[in-house]
Structures are given as C-alpha cells and as structure tokens.
Structure 1
Amino acid sequence: MNQKFENLQQSFRRWWPFYVMLAPGLLFYLVYHYLPIWEARLAFQDVRIIPPNIWVGTKHFVALASSPVFLQVLMNTIVISAMKLVFIFPVPILVALLLNEVRSANYRKFVQSVIYLPHYLSWVVIAGITVATLSPSDGAVNEVIGLMGFDPIPFMTDTGSIRWVLVFSEMWRSAGWDSLIYFAAIVGISQELYEAAEMDGAGRWQKIWFVTIPGIAPTIATLFILNVGLFLSQGFDQVINLSNDVVRSHIDIVDTYVYRIGLQTGEFALATAAGLFKGVIGMILIISAHTISKRLTGKGVW
C-alpha cells in the first residue's frame, strides 16, 4: 500500500501541470453530469413547494407514454437523429481522406483553418447566417434558385425543408472539426504500409481502400458507437435558434420539450422523467452498439 501511495505521489509530482489542466473538465462533468443524477429521483415524485415531495412511482412515465405531444416530439427526435447519422457521420471521414491526399502542406493548413472555423461559432451566429442565406427575398440560395428559373423556397417556414436545414447547418458547423480525429488517426498509420502497397502496384484509390480505411476502422467504430449513444440528443441550441411557430411541431425534440415543460411551465417532475427516459435509452443504445460492434468487428468503445 505504501509503495502504491509513493508511486502515486511521484506520478503527481511529475505530471501535476497536466492534472491541473484536466481539473476544469473533470469539475464540469462532476457538477453538470454526475451530481444531477441524484436529483433524477424527481421523476418518481410529485414536487411540492413545501417538502417533502410525494413518491408516485412511474406516474410521470405513464403520462409521457400517453401524451400525443411527447410521442410526436419523440418521433421528431428519432427522424432528425437518423437523418444526421446517415448524412453527417460519413462526411468527416471523407473530409479527412481528402485532406490526407493534399500534397501541399500550406494549402492543407489553409483548408483546415477554413473548415474548422464554423465550429467556434455559436448557434446564435450560425442561425443568423442560415436565416440570411436562405431568405426567400434576398438570400443567396434563393438568388441562385431564381437564376435557374424556379420560384423561391421559404426554407425556414417550409415544414418539408426545415429538417434538411438542421442537417446541412450541422454538417457545415461540425464536419471540418470532427475530421480532426480521423485525420489524426490517418497520420498515425505506418508509412511502411503505404510503401508496401505501392510496391505491390496499388494506386491512390487502392491505398485509400486497403490501407487508410482499415487503419482508421477502430476510430470509425468508436465514434459511431458514441454517436449512437447520443441518438436522442440532437442539438438543443440548434433547434431553439432555428425554430419558429410555423415549423416548431416538425423539429421539436426531447431536449426542447424538457426545457419547455421544465423551465417554462414548471412541471419539474415530468421534465425530469423525460430527461431520464432519454438518458436511459441513450445508455441502452451505446451498450447495444458496442456489443454488436464487438461481435461483428472485434472493435468497440472498451
């Protein structure tokens, strides 16, 4: 025991600057993700102004299951999540592969700087850019549509288009930044594998298909599992900034529903039940995706 304690002290003395840098992140997750777990008990109680609260079991979960509004919100969340998973998840992989093929280091750095920039913009700014770009009167997209001889499309008030607006605005914001992880994985692939493939007569496409993609397969599997775990968490900030009264019923998701009934109407127990439901489903999805990935590919999160 003493030896382990001494080793821990030596490790701390050697790496203390890194522990200090890690502390704010750990504190954030402790305060905002772990301590609130205790308050999840509100999902099983009727909240009273004067304590104690009344234990009601699964009453609020039954109310959610029988609520047409919550079922519509859940369906919206599933549809939007599926669209983002299908159309956004492969894009950072493609971006990383393309960046790896750029031979000019200066040009690659320029492209990386440009595509990483949207990640640092808040959804308030991005929503303003999106609304201005898609405006039916003077938006750049509708200007192009008009030049092609078509009528302008009111994207922000069109129930058939608004979900695609969510998908493409999220893609623009996150694809470049998310490609960082894949690009780092590509850089870590041994150059000897590429040299061996080239000696065997492999061209550029063959090297990508038989060396690069298998080399980043563990990274792809891990991030896919994590994305599946976040299936029901589809961007509160994005939806709250891009929604309006016309399209709200088509893009209202679980996160905005929890915000509305919890903070705006004061139904704390019902909001906690909806949030707990989302968290449990997310945990089940991530464990299921990990198990399936382990059996099929031998790779998972752990």
Structure 2
Amino acid sequence: MLKNKYKQFNYHLMLLPGTIVLLIFSYIPMLGLVMAFQKYVPAKGFFKSKWVGLDNIIYMINLPDSKLIFANTLIIAVQKIVVGLIVAIGFALLLNEIRLKTMKKTIQTLVYLPHFLSWVVLATVVRNIFDYTGPVNSVIQALGGDPIIFLASNSWFRPIMIITSTWKEFGFDSVVYLAALTAIDPGLYEAASLDGANRFHKMIHVTLPGIAPTIVLMTALSLGKVLNAGFDQIFNLYNPLVYETADIIDTYVYRIGLVDMQYSLATAVGLMKSVIGFILIMSSNLLAKKFANYQIF
C-alpha cells in the first residue's frame, strides 16, 4: 500500500511544474476580472478604483461595435470549423487510400509542416502571395483582369482567412481521423470486396461509418472554440480598412484595452466571451456524451 502511494506521489510531483504554470498564467490573472465592474484607474489599483457594478457590461452590450465583433467572431470561427473539418476528413480518407508508404509519409510531412510555423512567419508569406504585385494578381492580370487589393477588401479578407487557416491546420487535424481509420476492422473491407464493392464504395459504406463517432466527437468538441477565431492570424494580417469584417473579440479587446487603455471595457468584453465560451464548452460536453458516448470531464 505504501509503495503504491509513493508511486502516486511521484506522478503528482511530475504534474507540479505544469500546475504552477497554470496557476500563475491562468488562475491568478482571473483576479483582474474585477476591473469589469470598476472604473479602473491604474494609479489607484483594484482596491481604490470606483465600483460601477454592471455599468461596463451594459455599456458594452449597447455598443454597435460589440454586436459587430461578436458577429465577425462567430462567422469566421464557424466557417473555419466547418471547412477545416471537411478538408481534414477528406484528406485523411484520400491519404488512407495511398498504398506506397514512402509517398504517404512524404505527403504527411509536407502537410503537417505549416502547423508548426508561427503566424508571424506565415503572415509574411500570405501578404507576399496576395500582394498587389504578388503572384495571385499576376495571374489575374495575365488572364485580363484587374489586380485586387485582397487584404484591404472586406469581400476578400474573410475567405483568405478561412483558406489560409485551413491550409495551415488541416494536415495536423487529420491525425485524429487517420488514427480512427486504423481501428476499423479489416474484415469489413474483405466482406465488402466479396460483395463486389470498389474502393469508392468501401470508402462510403465502410470507412465513413467507421469514423462517424470520431467525426461527431470532434464536431462537438469544436463548439468550445467557436469564439476563438484566431487572434494570431487576424492580428498579423488585418488593418483598419477591414475592421468591418475582420475585427473579432480578441483583436477588439487588444485594441481598446492595451492601445486605447480602456481597461474596464476591455475586461467586460473579455468576461462576456469567457462566459459564453464556458456555456459552449458545457454544451459540447453534453453533445459529446449524447452522440459519441464520450465525456470531456
């Protein structure tokens, strides 16, 4: 008994560094949420700043900008989730059909690589590609069209965000589905072959139903990220000309909080995001339990 307790103590000791980091960077900063209910003045601090109750939250709800940023966040995040899910599943299915191991590993390496690159780096690549004198506009001009300022266009900015985000993450996201594919019973494919099914029919009638629980689970879990539209990507690519369609909660909080120094209002917006995010995470947990028989916590 004592030996088992000693082993468990070692395991808990291994968790200590991560727990300390979590406390310092995630839980202790939550004390700053009190600013959402104050007219916060840095020189006075938390204890001497004037208490205003729900005034900041009510003011935030009545701001036209608040409705716009919440709408932008939802639109961009949902589109990223849907497109990313479809592309990741499609890629996993196609990659699973490749029989040459060398080619399969090469393709996997190439599509996984962008995931490990920072948006600070990739933003420069995207700017160069969609620049007024970049390769995309060169092709458009060669076909007789007029060049487009893509990253300064409200019509084009969102599609570019969706496409580039999907390109960066779909390879890594497909890992889960590739793992699910390995759990499918090979006997089902043999039975399908005896029935005269070709590779496409096997994919539709065996492979997709086999990974359906994983698809449902990943879709349910992604609901918790529906208010995270990708601060790093948008912050490194947007500009005032596209605030109408590109400004999301995180960039808005950064701008009004750190740039305009409206700390209380920025905290109120961040708090509202956290509350909605918590509700969505709890909802995703219930959906995962109902449709995939899996609980996050």
Classify 1:136/1:36 alpha carbon distance in 2 versus 1 (closer, same or farther; 3 Å).
same
**Which of 274, 278, 283 matches 2:273?**
278
Q: Give the alignment of 1:237-252 within 5 angstroms.
A: 237-252=232-247
1:99 matched residue in structure 2:
95
Decide whether the 8 Å contact of 2:69 with 2:247 is kept in 1: yes
Using the aligned pairs only, state the percent identity: 40
Separation in 2, partners of 1:285, 1:71: 18
**TM-superposition CA deviations, 1:163-214 (whole Å, max 9, x none):** 1111111011111111111111212323233233333333212222232222
Normalized against structure 1, the TM-score is what? 0.88
Separation in 2, partners of 1:238, 1:194: 42
1:47 matched residue in structure 2:
40
Using the TM superposition, name which of 49-58 and 274-283 deviates more.
Answer: 49-58
Decide whether the 8 Å contact of 1:115 with 1:176 is kept in 2: yes
Classify 1:204/1:235 alpha carbon distance in 2 versus 1 (closer, same or farther; 3 Å).
same
SS at match of 2:48: coil
SS at match of 2:103: helix
Using the TM superposition, name which of 101-110 and 148-157 deviates more.
Answer: 148-157
What are structure 1's unaligned runs of at least 5 residues? none
Classify 1:252/1:56 alpha carbon distance in 2 versus 1 (closer, same or farther; 3 Å).
same
2:6 matched residue in structure 1:
9
**Which of 209, 216, 240 matches 2:211?**
216
SS at match of 2:240: coil
**Which of 174, 177, 183 matches 1:188?**
183
- Give the aligned residue type for 1:97: L
- Could you list the runs of 4 or more consecutive aligned residues of structure 1 that deviate by over 6 angstroms after TM superposition? none
Separation in 1, partners of 2:5, 2:260: 50
Q: Give the alignment of 1:125-140 within 5 angstroms.
A: 125-137=121-133, 139-140=134-135
Classify 1:160/1:180 alpha carbon distance in 2 versus 1 (closer, same or farther; 3 Å).
same
2:197 matched residue in structure 1:
202
Classify 1:226/1:69 alpha carbon distance in 2 versus 1 (closer, same or farther; 3 Å).
same
Decide whether the 8 Å contact of 2:88 with 2:171 is kept in 1: yes
**TM-superposition CA deviations, 1:103-151 (whole Å, max 9, x none):** 10000000011101111111111111111111222x1112222222222
Classify 1:8/1:42 alpha carbon distance in 2 versus 1 (closer, same or farther; 3 Å).
farther
Decide whether the 8 Å contact of 1:221 with 1:300 is kept in 2: no
- Please tell me whether residue 157 in structure 1 is matched to residue 152 in structure 2: yes
1:109 matched residue in structure 2:
105
Using the TM superposition, name which of 87-96 and 251-260 deviates more.
Answer: 87-96
Could you tell me how far 1:267 is from its partner in structure 2? 2.1
1:69 matched residue in structure 2:
65
Separation in 2, partners of 1:25, 1:211: 41
Superposed CA RMSD: 2.3
Normalized against structure 2, the TM-score is what? 0.89
**Which of 67, 70, 77 matches 1:81?**
77
Separation in 2, partners of 1:96, 1:23: 37
1:174 matched residue in structure 2:
169
Could you tell me how far 1:276 is from its partner in structure 2? 1.3
SS at match of 1:37: helix
What are structure 2's unaligned runs of at least 5 residues? none
- Give the aligned residue type for 2:119: W
- Give the aligned residue type for 1:212: T
**TM-superposition CA deviations, 1:190-242 (whole Å, max 9, x none):** 32332333333332122222322222223222221222111111111111100
Separation in 2, partners of 1:64, 1:32: 26
**TM-superposition CA deviations, 1:36-59 (whole Å, max 9, x none):** 333323322332432334432211
Could you tell me how far 1:6 is from its partner in structure 2? 4.4
Decide whether the 8 Å contact of 2:221 with 2:288 is kept in 1: no
Decide whether the 8 Å contact of 2:220 with 2:287 is kept in 1: no
Separation in 1, partners of 2:288, 2:199: 29
Could you tell me how far 1:12 is from its partner in structure 2? 5.4
